[in-house]
Amino acid sequence: MTQLRLAIVGAGPAGIYAADILLKAERKFDVSIDLFEQLPAPYGLVRYGVAPDHPRIKGIINALRDVLDRGDIRVFGNVRFGEDITLDDLKRHYHAVIFATGAVRDTTLDVPGIEAQGSHGAADFVSWFDGHPDVPREWPLEAESVAVLGNGNVALDVARMLAKHADDLLPTEIPANVYDGLKASKVTDVHVFGRRGPAQVKFTPLELRELGELNDVDLVVYDEDFDYDQASRDAIASNKQVMVIDRILQSWRQRPGVNGAGGEASRRLHLHFYARPTEIVKDAEGRVAAIRYERTRPDGEGGVVGTGEIREVAIQAMYRAIGYFGSPLPGVPFDDHHGVIPNHEGQALQVGSNDRVPGVYATGWIKRGPVGLIGHTKSDAMETVRHLINDQGSWWQPVDPSEEAIPALLAERGVRHTDLDGWHNLDAHELALGEAEGRVRIKVVDREEMVRVSRGE
C-alpha cells in the first residue's frame, strides 16, 4: 500500500486538527505524520495566545493532548522551520507539507507617533503575559492611563489583563515574572477605542460581559455613543449576538460610573466608540503622552465617516489590538498584503497567479488570515486535508522517506529537539511547580529551561 509521509509545521490547534482529521479520513493509503514546532511545547496560541484567566478556552488543550497522546503523530519541538529544517529537507523526506504556523505578529497602524516609546503591539503583550519564551521577561507597566485600540476580543483580553488586579490572576497559570510585573502596575484608567459604534464591534458577548465583572474596576461607557442610526438599529434587531452586546452595554449605562462620573473602584475601564485614532502624541523624550482621535459618525451602512472633531486623552502607554498578521516562511510563497500563504482552499499557489505549488498546503490563520475562533480551524483543516488526499498524483517524490532520517538529520545539525514524552515531562514539572504554591500550574518561561526539563537533562 502506498504511504503518505506528511510533515506538518506548527503544533497549534490548526496543525493538530489537520493531523487528526487526516488520520481519521477515508483514504486508500497509509499515513505517517511528523509535527514540527518551533517552540519546545505544543498547542500554539492556546498556550501562548489565550489569556490565562480564560480556563475554559485553555481547556481546548485537553482535547489537543488527547490527539497527541494517541501516539500516532511524532512531535519534533524546538525545531525552527527555515533554520533547523528547510523546505528542501522536507522535499527530500516527505511527500507533502501542511503549514499551520498561524499569525503571531501585530498588524501595523499607520499614524504619526506610532513608534513612540510606550506604543506597543497587543501580540507582544499577550506573549509576555502568557509566558512566551522568546519575549523579554520584563514589561513596562508604569503608565497610569493607557489606551487600547480596537474592538475585537484581543483588545478585550489586553484591556482586562491591564485593568485586573494581579492578585485576582493568582488562580491562573501566569508565570511568576508576570505576576510581579502586574502587581507593580500603576494603572488607574484603561481606555478602549473603537473606530465604529457599539453595534459594529467584533467582541463576543461572553468576553464583553466579563469586563463588567472585574473586582474593583468600574466599567465606564458614554451616553453620546448610543445615539444609534437606522443601520445600527437594524443590526441589533436582526442579529442575536449584536442584540446581546447592546443589552450588556445598555445595562452598563445604568451604573454609577457612566460618562466618567464618580465610581467607587480604584481602577476604571472606559469604552469609547466612534473614535478613530489619528496620532500618538509624544513628549520631548519621545514617550507616549496622549492619543489624538477623530470623532466619527455612522455612515448609514455599518461604516463611519469622520466628523472633523479631534479629541485628545492623556495616556502614557498605548496598545494596538487591531489584528494579527502572518509571517513569511523561507522558500514558501507569501502574500504580504494579507499576511497569508496564497492558496486555493489550502493548496498553496504562486504569488499573484493561480499556479499550484505541488506538495505545499496551508491551514488555519496562515491560510485564511487571523479571524475566527479556534473551532473554525477544524472545518478549515477538513478542506485542506480533502485536497491533500485527492492530490496524490502531484505529491513530492522523496529520495529518503524513512522515519529514521529526520531524527538523524536533527542530531547531525545539533538541534536539541523535544518530543511528546518531553512535553509530558514539562507538563508534569509545571503542574508540580504550581502545586507547591497552591496554584494550578506555573509556566516555565525560559526556553533553555523548557528544553532541559523536556529532555530530562
Indicate the residue among 198 and 359 with the shorter CB distance to ligand NAP. Answer: 198
Please choose, out of 25-33, 147-155, 168-176, 417-425, the segment that lies near ligand NAP by the rule CB under 6 A: 147-155
Report 250-279 residues binding ligand NAP (CB under 6 A). Answer: 277
Interface pattern 187-206 for ligand NAP (x via CB under 6 A): -------xxx-----x-x--
Alpha-carbon gap, residue 243 to 236, rounded angstroms: 5
Of 140, 286, 330, 372, the one binding ligand NAP (CB under 6 A) is 372
Indicate the residue among 37 and 53 with the shorter CB distance to ligand NAP. Answer: 53
Least spacing, CB of residue 330 vs ligand NAP, in Å:
26
In contact, 382 and 342? CB cutoff 8 Å: no
Alpha-carbon gap, residue 86 to 170, rounded angstroms: 41
Of 23, 27, 54, 357, the one binding ligand NAP (CB under 6 A) is 54
Of 63, 67, 109, 141, the one binding ligand NAP (CB under 6 A) is 109
Alpha-carbon gap, residue 411 to 360, rounded angstroms: 25
Please choose, out of 89-97, 182-190, 370-378, 405-413, the segment that lies near ligand NAP by the rule CB under 6 A: 370-378
Indicate the residue among 195 and 443 with the shorter CB distance to ligand NAP. Answer: 195
Least spacing, CB of residue 222 vs ligand NAP, in Å:
17
Number of neighbouring beta carbons within 10 Å of residue 134:
11
Q: Which residue is nearest to ligand NAP (CB)?
A: 152
Task: Count CA atoms within 13 Å of residue 227 on its CB side.
Answer: 7
Interface pattern 289-328 for ligand NAP (x via CB under 6 A): --------------------------------xxxx----
Indicate the residue among 36 and 273 with the shorter CB distance to ligand NAP. Answer: 273
Least spacing, CB of residue 190 vs ligand NAP, in Å:
16
Indicate the residue among 150 and 359 with the shorter CB distance to ligand NAP. Answer: 150
Number of shown-chain residues binding ligand NAP (CB under 6 A)? 26
Of 102, 131, 150, 346, the one binding ligand NAP (CB under 6 A) is 150
Interface pattern 57-76 for ligand NAP (x via CB under 6 A): x-------------------
Of 155, 169, 249, 450, the one binding ligand NAP (CB under 6 A) is 155
Least spacing, CB of residue 278 vs ligand NAP, in Å:
10
157 is an interface residue for ligand NAP by CB under 6 A? yes
Alpha-carbon gap, residue 154 to 123, rounded angstroms: 9
Binding interface with ligand NAP (CB under 6 A): 54, 57, 109, 149-155, 157, 194-196, 202, 204, 207, 277, 321-324, 370-373
